[in-house]
Structure 1
Amino acid sequence: NQDLRSFLGTKYTKVPMMHRLGVYRHYEDMENMVQVLELGLWEGKASMVLLLPFHVESLARLDRLLTPDRVEKWLEKLNSTSMALSLPRTKISSMVNLQKQLAALGLVDAWNETSADFSATSSLGQGKLHLGAVLHWTSLELAPESGSKDGMHEDEDVQKPKIFYADHSFIILVRDSSTGALLMIGL
């Protein structure tokens, strides 16, 4: 179910908040004052990890904590826990030009008009072709789903649930389940 609730980002706004009871993988890092919650995506092929500070704060502190080792330790400590979730319904999207990152990996000639030649990949017959841009577009929507697939276990017996009430800024990580590769980070 959902209703309008206050959410504090850079200012207070009213947002549709979704509520669910169920058994989810969860960990509370008392030292770093952050809750870690994992939700399955796409029938277990990926997972979404939410990092919620205990208190309303800028995400700069939490962003500094995000090292591969720390994230891996958080994931190792997740336990199936009865949870009462409240999450804002939202859509996150971003587009990034990957030229700088690809050049750092050694792909430099592909951008050069004189040395690049991708003409074999085109039927236009326009002579030499080069890359102008490589863009990566990502979108993720937090919205109510029908059914309880993807790691949502609403039909299980929920006893004394812990609260995960995301009414302030948090970080979202999306990971591939088979490789552990990080697919997306959202704030």
Structure 2
Amino acid sequence: MRRFITPALSALALLAACQQAEPPASDIPAPQAAEPSPDSTAAETPAVTNETLHALAEGNNRFAWSLFGALEGEASNVFVSPASVTGAFGLLYPGAAGETEAQMARLFGFDAVSPADFPAAEKALADAIVTDTETAKMTVANAVWLRQTSVLKAPYRSAVEGVMAAKVALVDFTKPAAAAKLINDWVEDHTNDRIKDLIPPSAIRPDATEMILTNAVWFKADWQSQFKKDATEDMPFHAPAGEVRAKMMQQTLKRARYLSRDGYAALDMDYSGGDYALTVILPDEGNALPRIAGAMTPEAFVTLIGDMDSAGEKRVRVFLPKVKIEANYELNDAMIALGLGHAFTSDADFSGLIEGAGPGDLVISKVLHKTFLEIDEKGTEAAAATAILMERAMAMPPQEEPVIFRADHPFLIALRHKPTGTVMFLGRVEDPTAG
């Protein structure tokens, strides 16, 4: 049950978006934001239809279940924000071309709109989902961190900064610790301090890292019908490894959207304001989760999520465990397995990103993803951040001065079997010409 909470929350609450935010303070010498191009800050967002927004959302939700399936082998709880991943790749998408662009479009559903209209559609989706009330908040932020000596191509900069309202800043990647701190501080600022240390300094290569794209989402809302703390009890929870004691919240919902399908039931629990809901998908049998999840396709998941809006309302007695999850993933293998192979190899075509970079010059080196989830009697807090690290494909690390090993005087040799360490031959060479 706990594992099924996660994809539903991600798909419903954390839709891909872009929102500009103020840059944090930095201890990197002169890491100033790049000056905007004349047409980048005045770009107008054209009208986007509701059908387009729903199409982008469905693409995100198909990806949500695909990503969940790719991570099914992870131990115990899984909690991801497909929308944060989609948002980060949405920031990269306007700079992609050829088969790289096509693979991204298929995987994330970006092909719901034309490439020319995509930035405006992403911005419209951002405007639609961001919420700021006393009892419900959703924030989304995107940023492009660029090597100080590089320049974004004008069309790309106009798309991400002018239309999608992403932050663009120059960074000194020759100082990995300081660069990582700058970006990690920004992530903390935009996730209510829930996501820390997203990028380890070791992930930044001083002579290769060209740019880092980040997406951060934060959600916090009260239940529309809150649980009473004094009703929470320690109760059995039947985990795969055996029974455990969980703090089980309980209440009776007078009217709740509820569906019963073959082998499972689905319940919608609304948050204050009614814009967000948590869908809990519960197998009928305690050990049936692998079978139910294995049988559900991305398309079936999208259908289920869509059906919840029109599901009949019932009086429901709810028992739900308090949950707190913090997860950390490197998504390279998952993204490649899901069909994004070109982006990580010399076949990548990100020729639309920066001046002087053509097809094959830039590749993704890492996709890093961190999440936070806490469900209690009052409501839910969830946060996630994604970082896409881009490198110069042909960049070479600095060459060390070679150590001189000049065998021009007598020496010993030992010929050994590496698996066992057995020395098979041992000798001394005093005169290589003596025979």
Return the TM-score normalized by structure 1: 0.57
Cα deviation, residue 26, structure 1 = 0.6
Cα deviation, residue 140, structure 1 = 2.1
Partners of 2:321 and 2:368 in 1: CA distance: 28
SS, match of residue 282 in structure 2: strand
1:62 equivalent in structure 2:
292
Of 62, 72, 83 in structure 1, the residue corresponding to residue 316 of structure 2 is 83
1:1-187 superposed matches below 5 A: 1-10=231-240, 11-22=242-253, 23-29=255-261, 32-41=262-271, 43-71=273-301, 72-73=303-304, 75-76=306-307, 78-100=311-333, 101=335, 104-105=339-340, 108=343, 132-145=365-378
Q: For the Cα contact (< 8 Å) 2:251–2:318, is it kept in 1?
A: yes
Partners of 1:19 and 1:6 in 2: CA distance: 14
SS, match of residue 105 in structure 1: coil
Partners of 2:267 and 2:300 in 1: CA distance: 14
Q: For the Cα contact (< 8 Å) 1:18–1:89, is it kept in 2?
A: yes
Cα deviation, residue 41, structure 1 = 4.3
Q: What is the percentage of aligned positions where both structures have the same residue?
A: 20
AA paired with 2:234? L
SS, match of residue 144 in structure 1: coil
Partners of 2:326 and 2:273 in 1: CA distance: 22
Larger radius of gyration: 2
SS, match of residue 366 in structure 2: coil
Partners of 1:106 and 1:42 in 2: CA distance: 41
Q: What is the CA deviation profile of residues 119-140 of structure 1, one whole-angstrom value per residue up to 9, with x for unaligned ones? A: x8xxxxxxxx976422122222
SS, match of residue 57 in structure 1: coil
Cα deviation, residue 28, structure 1 = 1.2
SS, match of residue 108 in structure 1: helix
Cα deviation, residue 85, structure 1 = 0.3
Partners of 2:306 and 2:370 in 1: CA distance: 26
- Comparing both structures, which one devotes a greater share of its residues to helix? 2
Given the superposition, is the C-alpha separation of residues 42 and 133 from structure 1 closer, same or farther in structure 2, using an over 3 Å criterion? farther
Partners of 1:69 and 1:106 in 2: CA distance: 22
Partners of 2:327 and 2:377 in 1: CA distance: 22
Return the TM-score normalized by structure 2: 0.27
Higher relative contact order (CA 8 A, sep 6+): 1
AA paired with 2:259? Y
Runs of 4+ in structure 1 displaced over 3 angstroms? 41-46, 102-107, 129-132
Given the superposition, is the C-alpha separation of residues 54 and 138 from structure 1 closer, same or farther in structure 2, using an over 3 Å criterion? same
Partners of 1:3 and 1:140 in 2: CA distance: 21
Q: For the Cα contact (< 8 Å) 1:27–1:74, is it kept in 2?
A: no
- RMSD over aligned CA atoms reads 3.5
Q: For the Cα contact (< 8 Å) 1:36–1:74, is it kept in 2?
A: no
- Comparing both structures, which one devotes a greater share of its residues to strand? 1
Partners of 1:134 and 1:42 in 2: CA distance: 34
Cα deviation, residue 83, structure 1 = 0.9
Gaps of 5+ in 1: 121-128, 147-173, 175-187
Partners of 1:60 and 1:19 in 2: CA distance: 26
Cα deviation, residue 42, structure 1 = 7.0
